[in-house]
Amino acid sequence: MNIQQLELLAADGYRLAATYVAPDQNQGELQFIVIGSATAVPRGFYRRFAEYAASRGVHVLMVDYRGIGDSKYPPYQKSLRGFKMEYADWSRLDLAAAVDWCTKRGKTWLVGHSLGAHAIGQLPSPNDLQAAYICGGGAGWHGWMPFPESLKVWLLWNVLGPILTRIYGYQPMSKLGVGEDLPMGVYRDWRRWCQLPHYFFDDSEPRAKAIAARFAEVRIPIAAAVATDDLWATPKSRDAFFKGYVNAKVESIDIAPQSLGVPGVGHMGYYRANVGAALWPQMLAWLERNGLHLTP
């Protein structure tokens, strides 16, 4: 397969680092999968899935959102302190740039992780996608999580988070062993919405109401898959969020780790190779039922 490093330009002019993985041979019309990464997860985490999809004849594009990975901050900034952005920018600007790049070249499907569930309804033209398969998407509220994970998340939002952001000027997630550091705007919005049972669908703030209202425009087929041992995105959490896609055909899929022959999946395992050996063929088979053409 062929791997290229690209630079995408978001609608507001922000430059984004991206990786394009292409199959060795094209099979007729180009087909693309865009990876909708999770919060604070750089694009390299999804490389093995991208290579697997490319081995089945699909072109794959991965992008680092602003403030993350190789899109961390503009050249004139040397820290996330003072970095200005909103959480929604990752969806409506950054992922949107990747989707736009692909849809201009061929039919495009989305494969998402966690935040990828929140992103579809925020894209400028979500129905340009053929379909989407999301792993680990949920409402984020600690009340949907089992104890003691619910307590740990409550402490993160209400004790550790406020203290650490006051000290650093951003959320130093890396010091907690949970992904990359978050710009203050991402932390602020994520914290607010994760304290609501239905995420931004429960937020009365005008900015959030405008985001939630656009989800009614989405009409593509969506697979909403969660592992039964995913502590952050339980089936109840998944259902609480995806009910916001009122006009989309959402298929809920519960994944038992034992059905994949693995001891566990959790919130991050969907895109790890040991889980992917059994899960990724199922994901691509679902996309194939929704228009994607695969090579043997």
> In tens digits, what is the pLDDT along the chain, a chain of 296 residues?
899 999 999 999 999 999 999 998 776 789 999 999 999 999 999 999 999 999 999 999 999 999 999 999 888 888 999 999 999 999 999 999 999 999 999 999 999 999 999 999 999 999 999 999 999 999 999 999 999 999 999 999 999 999 999 999 999 999 888 889 999 999 999 999 999 999 999 999 999 999 999 999 999 999 999 999 999 999 999 999 999 999 999 999 999 999 999 999 999 999 999 999 999 999 999 999 999 999 98
pLDDT for 117: 98
pLDDT for 254: 98
pLDDT for 208: 97
pLDDT for 75: 81
pLDDT for 25: 76
pLDDT for 291: 97
pLDDT for 156: 93
pLDDT for 178: 83
pLDDT for 109: 98
The token duo for 246 is 């009122």
Rounded to two decimals, the pTM is 0.96
